[in-house]
Each structure stands twice: as C-alpha cells, then as structure tokens.
Amino acid sequence: MSSTSTPPPTLPDYVLNPDAVLSDPSTTWRHGQPPDYTKTRQFYLQTTSLPALVENLVKNWEIEASYKPLLPEWRTIASPQSYTFRVNGSPPQTAAQMLSVGTYNALIEPNEFYCPAHSSFDASHKTFKRVMPSFAWEVLEVYAGPPRVVFRWRHWGVMKGDYVGTNDKGEKVTIKAHGGDIDIEGVAVADVNDKLQLGSVEVFFDPMAMFRQMAPDGKTGVTKEARTTE
C-alpha cells in the first residue's frame, strides 16, 4: 500500500469568489459586457456579512499577534497601550504581555499536559504546529454587533504529529498522534471602535478540550517523565 496521501481537492474559484465568473475570458455577455455588481457587493458588506467581517478581523489579529513583533505596526487593535485580552474571567493581559508570551500561552492555563511557564513564544508555536500543521478557525455565529461583538467560534485540525510538551509539574508529556480530528469551540466578546479595531477581547472556552481529544481516555498513547536537570 502506498504511503503517499491523496492531496485534497482544489475548490473551484466560483465557490471562493462571488465575482469569479466576471473575469472569464472570451465570454459572450447578454449586454455586450460583464455586469457591474460593485454596489451590490458594497451593500452586502455593509448590511449582512458581519460574521465574515468578524472572521477576517480575528484572523488578521492572529497574524499580527503571532508574526508582528512591533506593537505600533498592529493595525487590528485600537491602542497598544489600552488593549486587553482575557480568558475565562482571568485578569486582563496587555498587548505587550501577549507579545511576550504568544497566543497559545495567553490562552492555555497550566495543566497536566502543558504549562506556559515551561514554553517560550516560539517553542509553543512549534509544539502545536507539529501536532496540527493546519489549525483552521471560523466564526459560527454572531450574537451581537458593534461596538460590543459577541460571537461563537470553532478551531479545528487533524492530529498528524506527536504532542511533546511540559506540564504544570515540570514533566515531559508525550502523546502519540492518532490521525483524528481535534475540534474545539468557544465564545468571545470583543469591544471595537468605529474602525472595527479591537479595544478588548475576552474568550470563553474549555482549554482542556484540545488535550482530551489528543488523548481521549487520558492514558492511551500518553507518557510522562521527569525532566532531567543539568
């Protein structure tokens, strides 16, 4: 049996771009030229696409939080000085704190599988990227609009690599990859300004859901060992 996996099918442009067929070459148009949907698309964006706007905002925020090391260059937050981030009612973290620890460490509390105190910004990203090379995110539903946006989200991927991390006891934890889905959901409350820039974000979710899906019974494929000291 070949170990080469079949690549996922490429989605056609007409399900990814609402104006895809307008660019079709050598097309015979009913009135001699392509129709102009500019005003309709603008109206759509202004009135009915709040979930898409929120999704794009959060995805760009994640890019900046993960890959822009200079806070003044973040365009998705209203103010580097006043922006705050909270998880499950915990004390607020500043933008500078998040920039220091990274998004994974800002979201995950110390537990039997992982501890932010034992993993740097870069190390945390490498740890979870190794487990799930692709970890997609989407908005499922928006309950309230600006200036306080309340929405439900989903984060999912496939466990293709082993998890190797350090837990709250300082033990090395290894979970063997099972090739199954990892799928978590949560709710977020975001205060935004008139430019839809984030002033504060509070996330509510079960941080242990991801690890329970990595090791469904808490034991199979899991090993723990004391870290050696030099």
Q: What is the mean pLDDT of the chain?
A: 90
- From residue 112, give the alpha-carbon distance in Å to each of 107, 166, 167, 175, 202: 15, 9, 5, 12, 24
Write the pLDDT tens digit of every residue in 46-59.
766 789 889 989 99
Write the pLDDT tens digit of every residue in 193-229.
988 999 999 999 999 999 999 998 777 668 888 765 4
Overall pTM surpassing 0.85 (yes/no)? no
Over 60: is that where the pLDDT of 112 sits?
Answer: yes
Give dist(CA 136, CA 43) in Å, integer.
Answer: 28
Write the pLDDT tens digit of every residue in 161-178.
999 999 999 999 999 999
Percent of the chain with pLDDT over 70: 92
The contacts of residue 94 (CB under 8 Å, 6+ apart) are: 83, 84, 85
In degrees and rounded to multiples of 5, residue 114 shows phi and psi of: -150, 150
pLDDT for the residue 2: 46
